[in-house]
Amino acid sequence: MSPTAVGPGVNPLRDPRDRRLPRIAGPCGLVIFGVTGDLARKKLMPAVYDLTNRGLLPPGFALTGFARRDWETQDFAQIVHDSVKEHARTPFHEATWRQLSEGIRFVQGSFDDDDAFDRLADTVQELDVQRGTGGNHAFYLSVPPGQFPIVCKQLARSGLSHPSEDTWRRVVIEKPFGHDLQSAQELNDVVSSVFRPDDVFRIDHYLGKETVQNLLAMRFANQLFEPIWNANHVDHVQITMAEDIGIGGRAGYYDGIGAARDVIQNHLLQLLALTAMEEPVSFSARALQAEKVKVLSAVRLPKDLDAHTARGQYASGWQGGEPVVGYLEEEGFDPDSTTETYAAIRVDIDTRRWAGVPFYLRTGKRLGRRVTEIAVVFKRAPHLPFEQTATEELGQNALVIRVQPDEGVTLRFGSKVPGTAMEVRDVTMDFGYGHSFTEASPEAYERLILDVLLGDPPLFPRHEEVELSWRILDPITEHWARSGTKPDAYRAGTWGPASADEMMARDGRAWRRP
């Protein structure tokens, strides 16, 4: 393939037919709004360094920070340096740092400051000349959602969002994508009035995790699983995201949002879509998104939301051997808050593959341990040719995909206990990334930032997916609001409120203990 046939942002020296070669970004720069926040300091800046360290960014890559702080460029460079030293995944190399630091710039200003955005436009033009960024720039909005509209309008007014011929301009938006369907649609209207749909990247960092991608490889690269990945063999699916931390310090963001909006609407419904979707014709962005949209369109809520949803709020207890306060005692919170820190829901998928198979989604703060997993629980064997002395009832086989923190896959099945008697007991077969591969998994933000710079968006939800997710969740949160009841209390360090266990018991099932 000749270089002229390769699109902007793609390395022309790479033959796309050779998938063994690493994906390397072409000439480009990244502008980060909100560089003083934790996300930029702990995730974005270290990810940029790690990509540079791995040789996946061009030598002339430029990193520009925009914030209200009265900093000079050297002040911002020091912030980046300190963040990299503290949080980077790869070793610190002076040569890599020098290469990156030569492309660092800083623009001081507020979002309503026209002059500041004009200075940013001048800086971007200078980088095109000085660093050879080629007019290709991505704008990362690491700012509260309420600031998205004004930043987008300023990017349009200053001309920063308008690429010239054979160049690109892209915008990266962090979740939450609105707080309900209406606000999500309003946000999309603002963003789409400034950027083309293909140039809008909605970040869901869970989709950048190695194990999420391995779910696709496991399902579609192996004949072993596909024949049983359906209602004939699967009893139910549990998708869990549990955190052992509380809300401390996030009162301004979390109160009024809650666990369902914060996690179920985006992370868990995206994991559901990847678990339940049909095989795509390819792993291109459009093919993957088309299959996810089909699944989300087929999701059906139970008629009795009281019986098949649960919400809770953590109370004081013990975590990691130390006493911790309850949600209502956290600093900055309304003592009468009805915001949930735990949410569990049941949904069904009206497709031939999944008819009659419930999907249970749960998330919570201050739970027993930090873990995210997808558990596909299979039906019990229909015939047990064993004496009662061997086993009363065989357990249920399960395939568990661990997304974090111990990335891997566990298969649970029945096996004979050594000895003269026929006794069957559940055992597990375990695959861990750390044991099977010498190369460590890249951090999620590394993969996602590189995808943005390459213009390769297969793991980024489009606005159709976002809106469908809100259509699923809105009736649940509205029902909770109308009920006028408070979330059920659960002790910190446990696995949620009793109402969540009762929800499963009504269906004759029980939550897994991760």
Helix (H, G, I), strand (E, B) or coil at 303: coil
Q: Is 114 exposed, middle or buried (0-12, 13-18, 19+ CB in 10 A)?
A: exposed
| Alpha helices (H) in 323-374, listed in sequence order | none
Distance CA 27, CA 132 (A): 7
* Residue 449, H or E segment: helix 444-454
Distance, C-alpha 333 to centroid of its chain: 26
Q: How many CB atoms lie within 10 A of CB 10?
A: 18
Q: What is the spatial distance between Cα 445 and Cα 206, in angstroms, rounded to a whole number?
A: 9
Place of tokens 């029945």: 414
Q: How many CB atoms lie within 10 A of CB 90?
A: 18
316 contacts: CB under 8 Å, gap ≥ 6: 323, 324, 325, 326, 329, 491, 492
Beta-strand pair 317-319/359-364: unpaired
The residues that bridge with 360 in the sheet, in sequence order, are: 238, 346
Residue 383 a catalytic site member: no
Supply the Cα-derived Rg of the chain in whole angstroms: 24
Distance CA 28, CA 452 (A): 11
Question: How far apart (Å, rounded) are the C-alpha atoms in residues 283 and 143?
Answer: 31
- Residue in the structure block whose two tokens are 């209502």: 328
Catalytic residue among 137, 179, 205, 267: 267
Active site residues: 267
